Chain A
Amino acid sequence: MSEIEANVIFSIENLNRDYICALDKLDMNKWLACFNKQGTYTLISNENESNGLPIGFMLDDCYERLQDRVTQVVDIQEDSTEHYQTRHMTQLTNITDLGDNKYKADFNFTVFYTQDLIEQTSILGAGRYEDIILVENGKVSFIQRKAVLDTNVLPRYVPYPI
Chain B
Amino acid sequence: MNATTPPHLKWPANADHTAVPYSVFNNQEVYDLEQARLYNGPTWNYLATEAELPEKGSFKSTYIGDTPVVVTRGQDNEIYAWVNRCAHRGAEICRERHGRSEDGAYTCVYHQWSYDAKGDLRGVPFQRGLAGKGGMPKDFDKKQHGLRKVRVVNYHGAIFGTFSDDTPDIEDYMGEDVAYHFKRIMHKPIEILGTTRQHIAGNWKFYSENTKDPYHASLLHLFHATFGLYRSSQKGESISNNDFHSVLWASGGTEDESALDDMKKDKLRTLQTGEYELQDMSLLAGTQEFEDNVTLVILSLFPSLVLQQIQNTLAFRQILPKGKDEFELVWTYFGYKDDSEEVRNYRLKQFNLIGPGGLISMEDGESTELCQNAIVRDGEYTNVIQMAGKEASGDDHLVTEGLIRGLWKGYKELMDF
Binding site for B on A (CB under 8 A): 43, 45, 47-48, 53-62, 64-65, 67-68, 71-72, 75-77, 79-82, 117, 152-159
Which chain B positions have C-beta within 8 A of A155? 198-199
Q: Judge if B133 is at the interface, Cβ distance under 8 Å.
A: no
Q: How far is the CB of B382 from chain A (nearest CB, A)?
A: 25
B257-283 with Cβ < 8 A to chain A: 269-270, 272, 276, 278-280, 283
B220 to chain A: which residues have CB within 8 Å?
80
In contact, B348 and A53 (Cβ under 8 angstroms): no
Bound: A48/B193 CA distance, A: 8
Q: What are 7 A-to-B residue pairs whose CB atoms are below 8 Å?
A: A45-B194, A59-B352, A64-B280, A68-B279, A68-B283, A153-B198, A157-B362
Contact partners of B359 in chain A: CB under 8 A: 72, 76-77
CA distance A160 to B386 in the complex (A): 35
The 9 A-B pairs of least Cβ separation, nearest first, read: A55-B194, A64-B280, A57-B357, A64-B279, A53-B194, A157-B362, A157-B365, A48-B194, A153-B197
In the docked arrangement, what's the CA distance between A48 and B369, Å?
A: 27
B366 and A55 form a contact (CB under 8 A): no
**What is the bound-complex CA distance between A7 and B197, given in angstroms?**
40
Q: A59-B348, A60-B352, A81-B363 are in contact. Are A68 and B199 (CB under 8 A)?
A: no
Q: Report A-chain residues with C-beta under 8 Å of the C-beta of B276.
A: 71, 75-76
Q: Across the two chains, which residue of chain A brings its CB closest to B226?
A: A76
Q: Are A55 and B362 in contact (CB under 8 A)?
A: no
Chain A residues near B333 (CB-CB < 8 A): 55
Q: How close is B408's CB to chain A, nearest CB, in angstroms? A: 26
Contacting residues, chain A, for B351 (C-beta < 8 A): 55-56, 59
CB distance from A113 to the nearest CB of B (A): 13
Q: A55-B351, A64-B279, A82-B366 are in contact. Are A154 and B193 (CB under 8 A)?
A: no
Is B193 within 8 A of A55, CB to CB? yes
Q: Are B196 and A57 in contact (CB under 8 A)?
A: yes
Count of chain A to chain B residue pairs whose CB atoms are closer than 8 Å in the complex: 117
User: Quick one: closest A residue to B197, CB to CB?
Assistant: A153
CA distance A64 to B277 in the complex (A): 11
A58 in contact with B357 (CB, 8 Å) = yes
- Determine the distance from Cα of A10 to Cα of B279 in the docked complex, in whole angstroms: 33
B221 at the interface (CB under 8 A from A): yes
CB of A81 within 8 A of CB of B366, answer yes
Interface string of B329-372 (1 = CB under 8 A from A): 00001000000000000001101100111010011011001000
A61 to B345, CA, bound (A): 11
Considering the complex, give the chain B residue whose CB is closest to the CB of A117: B373
Residues of B within 8 A of A80 (CB): 220-222, 270, 363, 366
A77 to B194, CA, bound (A): 25
Please give 9 more A-B residue pairs, beta carbons under 8 A apart, in addition to A48-B195, A55-B348, A57-B357.
Answer: A45-B196, A47-B197, A53-B193, A57-B196, A65-B279, A71-B278, A79-B269, A81-B362, A157-B356
How far apart are A95's CB and chain B's nearest CB, in angstroms? Answer: 28
| A residues in contact with B280, CB < 8 Å | 62, 64-65, 67-68
Does B223 lie at the interface of the complex (its beta carbon under 8 Å from any beta carbon of A)?
A: yes
- Contact string, B189-224, partner A, CB cutoff 8 A, digits 1/0? 000111111111100000000000000000011110
A76 to B366, CA, bound (A): 15
Please give the distance in Å from A123's CB to the nearest CB on chain B: 12
A63 to chain B, nearest CB (A): 8
Determine the residue in chain B with the shortest Cβ distance to A161. Answer: B357
Instruction: Give the distance to chain A from B216, nearest Cβ to Cβ, in Å.
Output: 11
CA distance A67 to B279 in the complex (A): 7
Assembly CA distance A103 to B384 (angstroms): 58
User: Which residues in A have their C-beta under 8 angstroms from that of B283?
Assistant: 65, 68
Asked whether B184 is an interface residue with its Cβ less than 8 Å from the other chain, the reply is no
Q: Which residue of A lies closest to B221 (CB)?
A: A80
Given A68-B278, A154-B356, A158-B356, also A53-B328 (CB < 8 A):
no
Query: Does B97 lie at the interface of the complex (its beta carbon under 8 Å from any beta carbon of A)?
Result: yes
Q: State the Cβ distance, A125 to closest chain B Cβ, in Å.
A: 11
Chain B neighbourhood of A47, CB < 8 A: 97, 195, 197
Is the Cβ of B201 less than 8 Å from the Cβ of A156? yes
